[in-house]
Structure 1
Amino acid sequence: MFRSARILVAARALAGMSQADLASAAGIAVSVLQAIEQGRSDPRLSTVIALVDALKQRGVEIIPESDRNAWGVVVTKGSEAEKLGSK
């Protein structure tokens, strides 16, 4: 899922979350998140889903690569993440 660990780091930053915040929200250990973000771990699908769901709750979505788009991160209008960005 995370073709580049930078996508996850960018999404977490846009959500205004620390590694501890995201790990807690996703129900994983901080060390697991650190390994994923550093590209040292290939996470299980259940871990990816938990991370994506935790970010989505903060209004940040990871957009997978397709024929028309590169990987990306989108902030949902009116979300907590958008409010953080407007400060």
Structure 2
Amino acid sequence: MTRRPTEIGPAGERTAAAIENLRIARGFAQRELADRVTALGRPMTNTMLSRIERTRRRCDVDDLVVIAAALGVSPLALLQRAS
């Protein structure tokens, strides 16, 4: 039996937009942010990050925490930020 991907809801969409907006505001390319995330102990490729930003991949809580740290914000800031 094939698994259906879990739909990404409004909070996931806002978070994906917040990650992309902050990444750009910080002047990071996707590869740079992915490298920073990996250096913090959560292996991530730029493809994985791209899929999160485009809502093609779910951002789980472990991803959220380390992406926030790499961007220099709290995870809550990513959840609350307007897109």
For residue 13 of structure 1, give the secondary structure of its aligned residue in structure 2: helix
Q: Which runs of 5+ in 2 are unaligned?
A: 1-10, 39-43
Q: Which of 53, 58, 78 lines up with 1:42 in the alignment?
A: 58
Runs of 4+ in structure 1 off by over 6 angstroms are none
Deviation at 1:45, TM superposition (A): 1.3
Looking at secondary structure, tell me which structure has more strand per residue.
Answer: 1
Residue 52 of structure 1: aligned partner: 68
> In structure 2, how many angstroms separate the alpha carbons of the residues matched to 1:2 and 1:14?
20
* Identical residues among aligned pairs (%): 20
Higher relative contact order (CA 8 A, sep 6+): 2
Relative to the length of structure 2, the TM-score reads: 0.66
How many matched pairs? 65
Q: RMSD between aligned alpha carbons?
A: 2.2
Deviations 1:36-63 (A, max 9, x none): 000111122111111000000xxx5662
